[in-house]
């Protein structure tokens, strides 16, 4: 598939078929995330795959509140993206340049995961709205942050057209 077609195919899926996802396909997504770039090649992430139904149900409930993310439990797999400590050089760079490289790194790796999923006919939804404390407790990740969850499964909906800013709104050449 042409890369731009793949990018357009990736969407936030909020309805999933109950069909389980094979371990092989999940590992394919993890491999794509593993290859993601990161500041000073720090790779400050750990992807925790949750497919055990009882635990997944609890994590899904931690994502659903105030009318948001009620669909989370439909996904047969939830992946928690845990932020790990950056390596020394990335930490120093982060402080000197006042940029939270690890958050950027996690975002890029998450998108690698989602694009690989889309390339294999799977659907994903990145979730930033969830009870992080509760998920931390459920997964025993101590004081590490969990910036994102990813829902993964076979999508039950159609591909939607993208709602995006125009090219001339989101880009310019040679001046701001």
Work out which of 22, 129, 133, 137 binds ligand FMN, going by CB under 6 A.
129
Per-residue binding string, ligand FMN, 65-84, x by CB under 6 A, is: ---xx---------------
Q: Which residue pairs, CB below 8 angstroms and at least 24 apart, start in 30-33?
A: 30/113, 31/116, 32/112, 32/113, 32/115, 32/116, 33/109, 33/110, 33/112, 33/113, 33/116
Per-residue binding string, ligand FMN, 31-70, x by CB under 6 A, is: -------------------------------------xx-
Q: Is 102 in the site for ligand FMN (CB under 6 A)?
A: no
Reference 141, options 81, 61, 64; nearest CA is 81
Q: How far is the CB of 11 from ligand FMN (least distance, A)?
A: 4
Q: Is 128 in the site for ligand FMN (CB under 6 A)?
A: yes
Contact residues for 171 (Cβ-Cβ < 8 A; gap 6+):
none
Q: Is 152 in the site for ligand FMN (CB under 6 A)?
A: no
């Amino acid at each position: 598939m042409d890369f731009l077609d793949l990018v357009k195919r990736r969407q936030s899926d909020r309805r999933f078929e109950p069909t389980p996802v094979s371990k092989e396909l999940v590992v394919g997504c993890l491999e794509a995330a593993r290859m993601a770039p990161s500041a000073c090649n720090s790779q400050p992430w750990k992807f925790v795959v949750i497919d055990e139904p009882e635990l997944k149900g609890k994590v899904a409930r931690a994502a659903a509140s105030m009318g948001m993310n009620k669909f989370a439990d439909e996904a047969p797999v939830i992946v928690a993206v845990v932020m790990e400590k950056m390596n020394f050089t990335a930490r120093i760079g982060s402080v000197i340049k006042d940029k939270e490289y690890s958050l950027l790194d996690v975002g890029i790796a998450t998108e690698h995961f989602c694009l690989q999923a889309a390339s294999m006919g799977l659907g994903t939804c990145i979730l930033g709205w969830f009870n992080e404390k509760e998920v931390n407790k459920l997964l025993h990740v101590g004081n590490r942050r969990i910036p994102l969850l990813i829902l993964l499964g076979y999508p039950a909906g159609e591909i939607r057209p993208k709602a995006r800013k125009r090219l001339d709104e989101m880009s310019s050449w040679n001046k701001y």
